[in-house]
């Protein structure tokens, strides 16, 4: 039995007045002009950033909408840039501190 794979694609929904191609995936917009593909996702650490491939944003969008996090491979980019860590990472660190505190290891 073969497994059907769902293709994930950005759907082109129009062009804005400045000539940017507007694509959408899961309700999130990606604006494209030439080799610039800008994420339009308010609240996301990468909102307003550009990648060289519009499809690269699909994994970022999926991870954010599913878990309010960013893909593990990109988390180092945030830390090197000094940006705020996503909520999921901060929550995990908070839980680890709580577990340490309750175990008596933290004084």
For the segment 40-78, what is each residue's pLDDT rounded down to a tens digit?
999 998 999 998 889 889 999 999 999 998 887 777 776
CB 81 within 8 A of CB 75: no
7 pLDDT higher than 70: yes
User: Among the ranges 1-5, 16-20, 73-77, 78-82, which has the highest mean pLDDT value?
Assistant: 16-20
Strand 11-15 vs strand 21-25: parallel, antiparallel, or unpaired? antiparallel
Q: What is the reported pLDDT for 107?
A: 46
Q: Considering only residues 103 and 60, tell me which one the structure prediction assigns the higher pLDDT.
A: 60
Cα separations (Å) of 3 from 6, 8?
10, 16
Sign of the CA dihedral 16, 18, 24, 29? negative
pLDDT of residue 71: 83
pTM (2 decimals)? 0.67
Give the pLDDT confidence of 27-43 residue by residue, as tens digits. Answer: 999 999 999 999 999 99
Within 10 Å of residue 17's Cβ, how many Cβ atoms?
5
């Amino acid at each position: 039995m073969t497994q059907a794979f769902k293709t994930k694609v950005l759907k082109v929904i129009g062009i804005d007045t400045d000539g940017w191609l507007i694509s959408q995936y899961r309700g999130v917009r990606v604006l494209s002009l030439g080799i610039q593909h800008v994420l339009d996702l308010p609240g996301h650490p990468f909102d307003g950033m550009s990648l060289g491939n519009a499809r690269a944003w699909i994994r970022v969008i999926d991870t954010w909408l599913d878990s309010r996090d960013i893909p593990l491979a990109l988390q180092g980019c945030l830390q090197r840039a000094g940006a705020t860590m996503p909520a999921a990472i901060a929550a995990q660190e908070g839980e680890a501190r709580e577990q340490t505190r309750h175990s008596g290891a933290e004084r």
